[in-house]
Amino acid sequence: MAKRDYYEVLGVKKDVDAAELKKAYRRVAMKFHPDRNPDDPGAEEKFKEANEAYEVLSDDNKRAAYDRHGHAGVDGQAGMGGGAGFNNFSDIFGDVFGDIFGGGGRGGRGGPARGSDLRYNLELSLEEAVKGTSVQIKIPTLVSCKTCEGSGAKPGSKPVTCTTCGGHGQVRMQQGFFSVQQTCPTCRGRGTIISDPCKSCHGQGRTEETKTLSVKVPAGVDTGDRIRLSGEGEAGADGGPSGDLYVQVHVREHNIFKRDGADLYCEVPIDFVDAALGGELEVPTLDGRVKLKVPPETQTGKLFKLRGKGVTPVRGGGVGDLLCRVVVETPVNLTSKQKELLRDFQTTMKGGKYSPKQSSWFDGVKKFFGE
């Protein structure tokens, strides 16, 4: 059976470039791959035909011979008939489908590795976290060598192609019918070797440095939030892209306020006279002092809400409130006169319902003991 024209098999014109040729082969090979067409015996032949066509047309020498003499010019150099043909198919398949299955071209070598991400723990006061701030931080990290611009080679020279793997970063070992691919032992997968290393980085392409960075902390952050600084992590090896820096926020405990989401809480001590008769107190907020009216007969533990005096969350939402919990404080260091007055006051309290919680509590105790 006469062979079809290779350009016709892949559906391309004779002036097709390498990139379009590869796309065309990928399209045809995916369409007729045997695993995708288990019930079509003709698909395997078309798949082999496409592979043979790409094997010839992707090689400049074979393609030139084919263009001059047709199939006669390349017979015996292409196809799937023997071990050589199988190995060529493996190379082509890896080259075309490597980006789909994670390979890196004919040799399987990927691009320069991305640098590591870094983490910095940033401690803030509550005021800084609520209102936002800008801080300067110092980060010890690996940066691209300024002398060799990350190449690792001495200025005026450059890395040369590894002669062991031919720049692929991997070598292929034949084991009978199959071939095994492994990392090149000479260049360790880089594909290049440095014969004259840079004196600043000793051929590593990176040097240690402490960077000073300005971090803009948005208003409303809280403990556990992270701020990402893109590209401020470690520089990648072999000129690869830098990683990111993650600034981990931790808010110190405040001596007055406690935060719960968007709300703030604080305790306000008052004397028992203000609690009994009522009064007006000055209470702190993050924006300054405000007046708080305490009604008569206020009990300890009572919560007063100051709307809009809390926190505006960094992820949006309404501003929170400040909740003030009053704590009635027992006076200390009383004088003899003050103690006498309190005893007189206590005498006037007997027989009246001046302490409702105390009365109900004693009633509960009596019931508990069956009295």
Condensed to tens digits (0 to 9), the pLDDT of residues 161-178 reads 888 888 888 887 765 555
Q: Report whether pLDDT(230) > 90.
A: yes
Q: What is the pLDDT of residue 202?
A: 86
> What is the per-residue pLDDT across 315-333, written as a single tens digit (0 to 9) for each?
888 899 999 999 999 999 9
Q: Report whether pLDDT(39) > 60.
A: yes
Q: What are phi and psi of 307, to 5 degrees?
A: -70, 140
Q: What is the pLDDT of residue 76?
A: 60
Q: What are phi and psi of 246, to 5 degrees?
A: -110, 120
Q: What is the pLDDT of residue 106?
A: 38
- Highest averaged pLDDT of the listed ranges 41-50, 280-289, 350-359: 280-289
Q: Report whether pLDDT(280) > 50.
A: yes
Q: Report whether pLDDT(207) > 70.
A: yes
Q: Report whether pLDDT(292) > 60.
A: yes
Distances from the Cα of 25 to the Cα of 29, 69, 70, 109, angstroms: 6, 22, 19, 22
What percent of the chain is modeled with pLDDT above 90? 36
Q: What is the pLDDT of residue 88?
A: 41
What average pLDDT does this structure show over 39-45? 82
Strands (E), the chain: 118-124, 133-144, 160-161, 170-175, 178-183, 192-193, 206-217, 226-229, 245-251, 258-260, 263-271, 279-285, 288-294, 303-306, 322-329
Q: Report whether pLDDT(308) > 90.
A: yes
Dihedral of CA atoms 253, 254, 257, 263 in degrees, nearest 10, equals -50
* Owner of token pair 């060529």: 88
Please state which of the ranges 150-154, 165-169, 170-174, 358-362 shows the lowest mean pLDDT. Answer: 358-362
Q: What is the pLDDT of residue 175?
A: 57
Q: Report whether pLDDT(368) > 90.
A: no
Distances from the Cα of 105 to the Cα of 33, 239, 347, angstroms: 20, 19, 97
The C-alpha atoms of residue 70 and residue 34 are separated, in whole angstroms, by 28
Q: What is the pLDDT of residue 78?
A: 53
Q: What is the pLDDT of residue 97?
A: 46
> What is the per-residue pLDDT across 90-136, written as a single tens digit (0 to 9) for each?
444 444 444 433 344 333 445 567 889 999 999 999 999 999 999 99
Q: How confident is the model at residue 179 (pLDDT cuts 50, 70, 90)?
A: low
- Walk me through the domains of the chain, giving residue ranges and CATH numbers: 6-101 (1.10.287.110), 111-151+204-252 (2.60.260.20), 258-368 (2.60.260.20)
What average pLDDT does this structure show over 230-252? 90
Q: What is the pLDDT of residue 80?
A: 40
Q: Model-level pTM?
A: 0.58
CB 262 within 8 A of CB 317: yes
As separate numbers, helices (DSSP H) first and strands (DSSP E) second, the chain gives: 9, 15
